[in-house]
Amino acid sequence: MLADIAPGPLSSIPSQFTHLADGTTVFAATDGSLGRELWVRTLDDDVFLLEDINPGPGDGLPFDLWMPMASLGDRIVFLADDGVHGAEPWVTDGTPQGTQLLMDIAPGSNSSYVSELTTWGNYVVFSADDGIHGNELWMTDGTPAGTMMVADLNAGSNSSFPGEFTPLGGSLFFRADDGIVGDELWKLPEPFSPPMLVEDINPGPDGSSPSLFSEHQGMLFFSAFHPMYGYEPWFTDGTMAGTGVLSDICPGSCSSFPHSFTSSGSYLIFGANDGIFGDELWRTDGTPNGTIMVLDIMSGSASSFLGELTPFNDIVLFTADDGIFGNELWRTDGTPNGTMMVLDINPGPDWSWPYQLTNFGGGVWFNADDGASGYELWVSDGTAAGTMMYDILPGPGSSDPFEFSGFGGTLFFSAEDEFFGREPFIFELCTPQTEVCDGIDNDCDGLVDCDDPDLVDEAPPSASCVQAPLVLMLNEVGEAEVPAELLDSLSTDNCLIDTMWSYPPVLDCSVKGDLVPVQLVVEDCVGLHDTCVAQVRVVDTIPPIVTCLDPTIYLDSSGSAMLQPDDVILLLDDNCAIESTTISP
């Protein structure tokens, strides 16, 4: 833990860790008395309140103003509210005297609604509303004199709502609505120059709503709408002639809704839905013919819900659900054979929910739940053996780390401690002279030793299922558990088989009498796995339960009476369902 800012079990709820070029780190936190304010961690490891921006218990950096800060090297631009000028841009150099209001863009107590602070070279660009020109494009060099509106794109008090600021090739690309062509793709060739419309992708006033900008090999890729194609991936080199639809992945006017564009080597990796296989993993080399689905992770029309795409060395780590192991950590190099689950962190079909994947210091850090230790800090190098957990809050409780931000050899994040609440934490990466016990039984001897040799097991187990159909009996509630041990027929591994489970683990009355394929999943001590299929039939051997009444029956004038089952049944129950009832005679 870096510091117990809110003393004792109270939480300071730190966030927005941002770094100056010299390694000084500023962030937002509350000590429980002065509200949520700006704090600093110095190069001497001192942690203190940098500035009480909104004096007293008020919040200078309230949660409803949360957004990433933007670093200019020796200064950081951020959004704050001092209780007098409204929410406006501020600047700090990491010292109290160097922390000040940058500009009261909307004069007085009004707020300028600053958003999307983005570093572009020696400037920070953002959108803001000065109360006269609407929400427009602004820039700052970190000084009041160097802070100004770039252009009133949507003339007058109307707003162009610029956003998605993305530097590329010396220009700044963004989306905006000038009130004529709608929400379209624009660029700023250089700081404070007049903005240029790149292309009116959806001709007319409706706009194409470009979003999810990502650079790949000198080109900008993004999602945009065209009435002929729907929402599909587009590309641009910054010119009208060099702008076009990459591929109509969902043919016709349906939309593939591409997302998570991530550049890795020669490929741009992303997610898309072609209308057949669901939302799955795609790649492109920047050409229509080179745009293909990499793998149908969740087989069939269902979606694998991939996300958190994070480049790491020559691969991309991401999260996905294949329908068997739940939402887990995956990797891809852009090829089918190079796309696989890294580790089944929460064994079996339960999800580990990895999130906030962050590439830093030779690994990808994230938050995940292994089913036993709660949500804790994990790191992976893209291999099963190189994926490990740091249990900050020992036991089944969760420290739930997030807000990861790395600088130098230190990873900053927010986490919860049993005794001190949610506070700022750091993880210092070890030096080459430091030996770390990684908690992995590398030599598969059943013991975890710090001097375990770094053996790498890349051979998965071999699952073997029984060939003859299994017959299982339904219980009193109409279910039959499928023990993995009954499906197994001498599955093997070069190391140790750590666990095995069946999927689905339980069958019920809906498949009574049918032969049902059940998958056996076998996993070894480093998380590698294999599967096989056995046939299982469930039968119902429990008769229904019936209790009868002794009713008095009155004959009609013809000397007869009609009896219905409900006239004589007091209680009727079955573990599945009653198919019919009859009375005899």
Q: What is the pLDDT of residues 133-154, one digit of tens each?
A: 999 999 999 999 999 999 999 9
Q: Is the pLDDT of residue 482 over 50?
A: yes
> CA 239, 240, 241: angle at the middle one, nearest 5?
90
Give one DSSP letter per residue of 265-314, joined into a string.
TTEEEEEEE-SSS-EEEEEESSSSTT-EEEE-SS-SSS----EEEEEETT
What's the chain's average pLDDT? 90
Confidence of residue 526 (pLDDT cuts 50, 70, 90): low
pLDDT (average), residues 251-277: 96
Of the candidates 383, 372, 375, 371, the one whose C-alpha atom is nearest the C-alpha of residue 330 is: 383
Strands (E), 73-170: 76-81, 87-92, 100-101, 115-120, 123-129, 135-140, 147-151, 163-168
346-370 residue pLDDT tens = 998 889 999 999 999 889 999 999 9
Q: Is the pLDDT of residue 187 over 60?
A: yes
Q: Taking the model in full, what pTM does it have?
A: 0.76
Q: Is the pLDDT of residue 530 over 90?
A: no
How many residues belong to the chain?
585
Q: Is the pLDDT of residue 77 over 60?
A: yes
Q: Cβ of 305: how many Cβ atoms within 10 Å?
A: 15
9-21 residue pLDDT tens = 888 999 999 999 9
190-208 residue pLDDT tens = 999 999 999 999 999 999 9
Q: How far apart are CA 12 and CA 511, in angstroms?
A: 53
Secondary structure (H, E, C), 249-260? CCCCCCCCCCEE
Using a 10 angstrom Cβ sphere, with 0-12 exposed, 13-18 middle and 19 or more buried, the burial of residue 129 is buried
| Kind plus residue range of the DSSP H or E element containing 565 | helix 565-568
Q: Is the pLDDT of residue 173 over 60?
A: yes
Residue 448 confidence (pLDDT): 44
Q: Is the model more confident about 498 or about 4?
A: 4
DSSP 46: -
Q: Is the model more confident about 545 or about 178?
A: 178
Q: Is the pLDDT of residue 74 over 70?
A: yes
Residue 452 confidence (pLDDT): 46
Residue 207 confidence (pLDDT): 96
426-441 residue pLDDT tens = 988 854 433 344 544 4
pLDDT (average), residues 166-188: 97
Confidence of residue 458 (pLDDT cuts 50, 70, 90): low
pLDDT (average), residues 39-58: 92
Q: Which residues of 400-409 are buried (b: 16+ CB within 10 A; e: fewer)?
A: bbbbbbbbee
Residue 430 confidence (pLDDT): 55
Cα 43 to chain centroid distance, Å, stands at 32
Q: How far apart are CA 227 and CA 445, in angstroms?
A: 62
Q: Is the pLDDT of residue 69 over 90?
A: yes
Q: How far apart are CA 433 and CA 423, in angstroms?
A: 29
